[in-house]
């Protein structure tokens, strides 16, 4: 094989490698929206599109220049169609990786030229050994940079695209300006190197560009995290406020029910006396005062030692009755030992997701909740009918709800509360006689109280009662 043929083959390999690395990095950074063949098909389409754009741009010039913006366009389109995350995050990352591709090539050419290994004019000549060496170095350097980006990103969570559009747009504009500046400088620097002019300042300039790009990336991530935490805090505060209001209404309803119970007992005693005296009409009139009054207490589903659980289960009963979902529950655990807001938020999110998931499944929708004591833990087992195909297309038991942001914060709330009580959770698909169900199990460690041991499986805390309902 001649050197020209080898270099041509290496050009194709390098383009395919850069395309594969770019799409793989984006997929690992954001996470795929699909599983199975859909994920593989989207990945292959992304690699093919990126490689096609690279071949098209390289057919005009060895240095893409401002035409490199088409790389960002391919990344955004792939991420928008196949990956999780917000559009502003995808726009920023597409520009950022484009800048990384540009600076990595810039750095390799600069190092090889200054070290005397490759004349700069040979680097841009197709079929030359210098260009082959440059391509190999670029592939190795980009792999290292991609790995570093993933390591940094996994240590620092990727927030959802949750508002803050103005701040995100500002950082995107900063990065766009950096890309335009870097592209212009690349051309000037290359002319400087090939012209044999003084190049001692170039390494300093290059290091400054790298530092500026890293600063922009880190600053955007920090701004994104702050916005995500702010939105999550607002969501939690709103959830707590809604739950507190609901618990207060249930407490007031309970007091009214107790007062009516006493009044009803007095009335029934009086009615018994009137009937004993043969005054049926007076007895009937006495009973008419309760006509319709008891109906509004029909939705008061459960009363345990935990007001948060009472509110969550009662709300679930109301919502399931409205939507035609069969809801059964059995509460036999020591729920009184847990914080009412924590247990309320946990069960509200779990039951809401279970109810909405059951409505998307075939057949009769149903939700079943069981709470028991289990080896020093409070065990919450929840089952709901599901659409198996929908779950397979939304990994991680995702959602197709319009309000994905609040749904995401609801999932975070569940995880936060489970971690708060040193708990564990698992989810699995199970095939029942009536179809597929999603079973979720959570184990919550009992809060430690001095002198009080965790209850065993059969024990109930003071004030707790075994309760079930349909």
Question: Does 322 lie in the same domain as 223?
Answer: no
Tell me the CATH number at 453.
Answer: 3.30.565.10
Tokens of 168: 């995100």
Q: Name the band, by pLDDT with cuts 50, 70 and 90, for residue 357.
A: confident
Q: What is the pLDDT of residues 112-144, one digit of tens each?
A: 877 777 776 777 676 777 778 888 899 999 999
Number of domains in the chain: 2
Residue 250 lies in a domain: no
Domain annotation covers residue 294:
no
Q: Is the pLDDT of residue 16 over 50?
A: yes
Final residue belonging to a domain, choices 182, 199, 233 = 233
d(CA 317, CA 295): 15
Kindly state the percentage of the chain with pLDDT values over 90.
22
Q: In this structure, are 171 and 39 located in the same domain?
A: yes
Does 385 have pLDDT greater than 60? yes
Helices (H), 202-339: 202-276, 280-288, 307-323
Question: Is residue 141 one of the residues assigned to a domain?
Answer: yes
- 240 assigned to some structural domain: no
Q: How confident is the model at residue 161 (pLDDT cuts 50, 70, 90)?
A: very low
Average pLDDT (318-335) is 90
Comparing 88-92, 114-118, 130-134, 415-419, the range with the smallest average pLDDT is 114-118
Name the nearest CA neighbour of 149 among 29, 241, 316, 291: 29
CA distance 292 to 281: 19
CA distances from 99 to 82, 193, 419 (A): 22, 21, 39
**Domain span holding position 202:** 3-233
Residue 101 has pLDDT above 80, yes or no: yes
27 and 159 part of one domain: yes
Q: What are the strands, taking DSSP E only, across 305-398?
A: 326-331, 366-374, 377-385
**Average pLDDT in the 157-186 region?**
74
Domain boundary among 233, 255, 283: 233
Please tell me the predicted confidence (pLDDT) of residue 52.
93
CA distances from 366 to 116, 369, 397 (A): 73, 10, 17
Judge if 464 and 346 occupy the same domain: yes
The answer on pLDDT for 369 being more than 60 is yes
Q: Would you say residue 362 lies in a domain?
A: yes
Residue ending a domain, choose from 233, 267, 283: 233
Under 8 Å between Cβ of 185 and 205? yes
Same domain, 224 and 323: no
Q: How far apart are CA 418 and CA 414, in angstroms?
A: 6
State yes or no: pLDDT of 158 exceeds 60.
Answer: no
Place 400 in a pLDDT band, splitting at 50, 70 and 90.
Answer: very low
- From residue 187, alpha-carbon distances to 29, 102, 363 in Å are 31, 11, 65
pLDDT at 214 over 80: yes
92 found inside a domain: yes
Statement to judge: residues 312 and 224 lie in one domain: no
């Amino acid at each position: 094989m001649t050197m020209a043929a080898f270099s041509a083959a290496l050009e194709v390999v390098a383009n395919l490698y850069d395309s594969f690395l770019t799409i793989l990095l984006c997929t690992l950074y954001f996470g795929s929206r699909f599983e199975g063949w859909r994920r593989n098909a989207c990945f292959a389409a992304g690699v093919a599109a990126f490689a096609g754009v690279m071949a098209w741009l390289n057919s005009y010039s060895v240095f893409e220049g401002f035409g490199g913006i088409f790389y960002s366009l391919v990344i955004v389109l792939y991420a928008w169609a196949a990956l999780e995350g917000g559009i502003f995050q995808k726009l920023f990352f597409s520009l950022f990786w484009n800048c990384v591709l540009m600076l990595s090539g810039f750095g390799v050419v600069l190092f090889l030229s200054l070290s005397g290994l490759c004349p700069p004019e040979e680097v841009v000549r197709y079929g030359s050994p210098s260009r082959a060496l440059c391509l190999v170095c670029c592939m190795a350097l980009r792999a290292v940079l991609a790995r570093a980006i993933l390591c940094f990103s996994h240590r620092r969570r990727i927030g959802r695209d949750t508002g803050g559009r103005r701040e995100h747009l500002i950082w995107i504009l900063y990065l766009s300006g950096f890309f335009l500046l870097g592209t212009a400088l690349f051309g000037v620097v290359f002319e400087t190197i090939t012209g044999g002019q003084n190049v001692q300042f170039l390494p300093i300039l290059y290091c400054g560009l790298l530092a500026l790009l890293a600063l922009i990336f880190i600053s955007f991530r920090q701004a994104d995290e702050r916005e995500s935490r702010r939105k999550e805090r607002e969501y939690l505060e709103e959830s707590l406020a809604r739950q507190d209001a609901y618990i207060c209404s249930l407490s007031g309803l309970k007091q009214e029910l107790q007062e009516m119970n006493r009044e009803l007992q007095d009335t029934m005693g009086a009615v018994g006396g009137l009937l004993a005296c043969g005054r049926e009409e007076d007895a009937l009139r006495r009973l008419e005062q309760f006509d319709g009054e008891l109906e509004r207490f029909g939705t008061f589903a459960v009363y345990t030692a935990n007001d948060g659980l009472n509110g969550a289960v009662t709300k679930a009963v109301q919502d399931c009755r409205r939507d035609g979902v069969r809801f059964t529950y059995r509460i036999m655990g020591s729920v009184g030992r847990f914080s009412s807001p924590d247990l309320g938020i946990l069960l509200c999110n779990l039951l809401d997701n279970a109810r909405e998931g059951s409505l998307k499944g075939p057949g009769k929708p149903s939700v079943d909740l069981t709470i028991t004591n289990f080896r020093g833990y409070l065990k919450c087992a929840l089952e709901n009918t599901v659409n198996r195909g929908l779950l397979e297309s939304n990994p991680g038991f995702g959602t197709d709800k319009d309000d994905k942001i609040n749904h995401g914060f609801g999932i975070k709330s569940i995880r936060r509360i489970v971690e708060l009580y040193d708990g564990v959770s698992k989810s699995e698909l199970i095939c029942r006689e009536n179809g597929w169900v999603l079973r979720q199990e959570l184990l919550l460690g009992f809060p430690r109280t001095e002198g009080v041991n965790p209850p065993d499986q059969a024990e109930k805390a003071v004030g707790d009662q075994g309760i079930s309902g349909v």
